[in-house]
Amino acid sequence: MRPMPRLSQLLYPPRDPAPLRPAATVLLLRDSPAGVEVLMTRRSPTASFAPGAYVFPGGGIDAADAATHALASRRATQSDEHLTQAIAAIRESFEELGILLAERADGSFATAEDVAALDRHAPLAEQCRARGLKLAADKVYVLAHWITDRDLPRRFDVPFLVARMPEGQTPAADEAEQFEPVWVRPQDALERHKAGNFFIIFPTIRTLERLQNYSDVQSILVACSSEKPLWTSCPRAGFLAGKEARYMEHESPFGELEMVTPDGQLLHSLDWQAENPVSLLKNVQRLTAGNPGFMTGPGTNSYLVGDPRTGYIVIDPGPVDDAHTERLWRAAGGNIKYIVCTHSHADHSPGAKPLQALCAPAKPPILGLASAPTARASSEFTPDEVLADDQRLVLTADSPDGPITHTLRAIHTPGHAANHLCLLLEEDGVLFSGDHILNGSTTVVDPPDGDMTAYLDSLDKLGAACTEHDANFILPAHGYVLGSARNQITHLKKHRLAREAKVLAAMQALPQGSMDDWVAKAYDDVPSRVWPVAKRSLLAHVERIQGMGLNPP
């Protein structure tokens, strides 16, 4: 079942990605005076997948791997699936590199003599049984779970496993599929790849990046002892600066690629620019104002919802910027039905009246909430019409396939600003979040117009709305589209409450401290250059803490 948006609004026709093949990869690790080293080998330049890349040994899972469980040692907590994967990884490391993860009856590891007595081209498990060896699958742990990107013609569903390299054995490549085995520290492999003389592919890069944080092999094995992968990822790809760029689920462009190219079509550009609209769906375009900066990121996103048949709703016309205003007007073909401001801050609402003036003689109404008395002078705003909580703006028109409708539901969300609202495109499960939810940073909650309790309550309200309409995507006023909307909201609330706990701890540790003292302690995990801005949200947390009667003694 596909998530929303509607198939009719997707930019590209649906397609079925290449089928997945089960495989297994093992990272053989050893300690060295310089730190952890991992065994890598270069794939054949004629290989059908990742030719010429340095990889970890591994390959496809055979039916025989699942049929040889009795010939392998296993942990009590090791599932049948993980046992099969471990057996496949052991077999592949033997066939490709002559490394044998097996144990003798006395529990000692197989030696180089055992390896020499075996045929790398014959079934491994039966040979081990004949020599009284048992595959040491209980010494193989799950590190990660990778699923090959949807845009590639050959795809694998592959666990990345880890095991300690047996002492006394020496890797020897098969010189057919694998060449040049090399022991390398993760950080050295990454540096050599960056220098252009050690080609590695995306999952390998991300795995090495994680491994370089461990000081020894034992700490890696302990981290993997839960029997669950430390991460699972099926990356997505787009273009950045004219080159292919891949991203994991936690990285900021992932949600946008998920929405625009759900089946992995390698078509979407991620470059920020202010000159042209970016189509996200057939009925959603983004134009980013030319006001990038520390507080605005790549710039303020204005959105056009609708199509030439229905006309358009403009969300957040942005700052006073004649070029940006004209681009909005041209992108809509002048057919603008409503102009909506999510709130009154200077990078969101001042462009409303200039855009309205361009639409003469049929001037669209400017909708939103009037700025509260607590707003700063630079944020004064009075709409032509108040947009009530739960009010819907409907665009509709006939089409050859029947009526087409785009419905925006207003959701009042005070917190970042007293007059903040979000909008939910109901038919497509898309939430326009203004500044309440951003991609790449948390929003500032700046009293007196900002209020932390109201902000947290509004997150709950947005979560409920996303659940009601099965909304999966968040389109913020700054940054790329966010996917997994409800998870994002849940994570954001947890982050805010965790920060509040640190603020309370700082207040309790330094009851006579100043705001500068508290921000240094409560925001010690962010660069000090951010602290002047963080002090605004710190004050909002302090007011909330005091309002709950949690003042330090």
**pLDDT tens, position by position, 371-387:** 999 999 889 999 999 99
CA 337 to chain centroid, in Å, comes to 34
What are the CA-CA distances from residue 302 to residues 36, 284, 306, 434 (Å)?
48, 10, 13, 9
> CA nearest 525: which of 549, 496, 548, 499?
499
CATH of domain 20-234: 3.90.79.10
311: CB partners within 8 A, 6+ apart: 332, 335, 336, 337, 395, 397
Read off φ and ψ for residue 23, nearest 5 degrees.
Answer: -150, 175
Spatial separation of the C-alpha atoms in residues 51 and 215, rounded to whole Å? 31
Q: What mean pLDDT is predicted for residues 183-210?
A: 96
> Which residue is it, tokens 């003694």?
553
Spatial separation of the C-alpha atoms in residues 534 and 460, rounded to whole Å? 23
**How would you write 249-299 as a 3-class SS string?**
CCCCCHHHHHHHCCCCCCCCECCCCCCCCEEEECCEEEEECCCCECCCECC
pTM: predicted TM-score of the whole model, two decimal places: 0.93
> CA nearest 480: which of 295, 307, 266, 251?
251
Spatial separation of the C-alpha atoms in residues 223 and 135, rounded to whole Å? 23
Spatial separation of the C-alpha atoms in residues 350 and 354, rounded to whole Å? 8
What's the pLDDT tens digit per position in 101-112?
Answer: 999 999 899 999
> CA nearest 251: which of 231, 266, 276, 267?
231
Q: What percent of the chain is modeled with pLDDT above 90?
A: 91
Q: What is the DSSP string of 122-183?
A: S-HHHHHHHTT-EE-GGG-EEEEEEE--TTSSSEEEEEEEEEEPPTT------SSSEEEEEE
| Six token digits for residue 123 | 């079934």
Spatial separation of the C-alpha atoms in residues 503 and 212, rounded to whole Å? 32
> CA nearest 309: which of 396, 240, 215?
396
Confidence of residue 264 (pLDDT cuts 50, 70, 90): very high
What's the pLDDT tens digit per position in 446-458?
Answer: 999 999 999 999 9
For residue 464, is pLDDT > 90? yes
What's the pLDDT tens digit per position in 45-90?
Answer: 887 778 889 999 999 999 999 999 999 999 999 999 999 999 999 9
What are the CA-CA distances from residue 60 to residues 20, 81, 87 (Å)?
11, 14, 11
Q: What is the pLDDT, as a whole number, of residue 306?
A: 97
Spatial separation of the C-alpha atoms in residues 119 and 100, rounded to whole Å? 12
CA 366 to chain centroid, in Å, comes to 35
> Which residue is it, tokens 């589209």?
481
**DSSP secondary structure code for residue 7 in this structure:** G
Spatial separation of the C-alpha atoms in residues 407 and 142, rounded to whole Å? 46
Spatial separation of the C-alpha atoms in residues 466 and 26, rounded to whole Å? 40
What are the CA-CA distances from residue 456 to residues 166, 176, 303, 472, 493 (Å)?
53, 59, 25, 20, 7
For residue 552, is pLDDT > 70? no
Q: Which amino acid appears at position 338 of this protein?
A: Y
> CA nearest 28: which of 171, 205, 202?
171
Beta strands 366-368 and 385-386 are: parallel
Confidence of residue 3 (pLDDT cuts 50, 70, 90): low
The SS3 of residue 408 is strand
| Six token digits for residue 17 | 């990605």
| Six token digits for residue 458 | 């509004």
For residue 417, is pLDDT > 90? yes
| Six token digits for residue 69 | 């469980």
> Which residue is it, tokens 């013609």?
153
Q: What is the pLDDT, as a whole number, of residue 46?
A: 81
**How would you write 318-347 as a 3-class SS string?**
CCCCHHHHHHHHHHCCCCEEEEECCCCCCC
Q: What is the pLDDT, as a whole number, of residue 553?
A: 58
**DSSP secondary structure code for residue 169 in this structure:** -
What's the pLDDT tens digit per position in 267-287?
Answer: 999 999 999 999 999 999 999
Spatial separation of the C-alpha atoms in residues 220 and 222, rounded to whole Å? 5
Average pLDDT, the chain: 94
Q: What is the pLDDT, as a whole number, of residue 329?
A: 97
| Six token digits for residue 45 | 């330049």
- Whether domain 273-483 has CATH 3.30.360.10: the reply is no
Q: What angle do CA 125, 128, 130 make, to 5 degrees?
A: 110
Q: What mean pLDDT is predicted for residues 475-484?
A: 97
134: CB partners within 8 A, 6+ apart: 71, 72, 73, 102, 103, 105, 128
**In contact, 274 and 321? CB cutoff 8 Å:** no
Report the interhelical angle of 515-522 vs 531-547 (nearest 10°).
100
Instruction: Write down the domain spans for the chain.
Output: 20-234, 273-483, 496-547
Q: What percent of the chain is modeled with pLDDT above 70?
A: 99
For residue 448, cis peptide bond before it (omega within 30 degrees of 0):
yes
> CA nearest 56: which of 30, 98, 24?
24
Q: What is the pLDDT, as a whole number, of residue 399?
A: 83
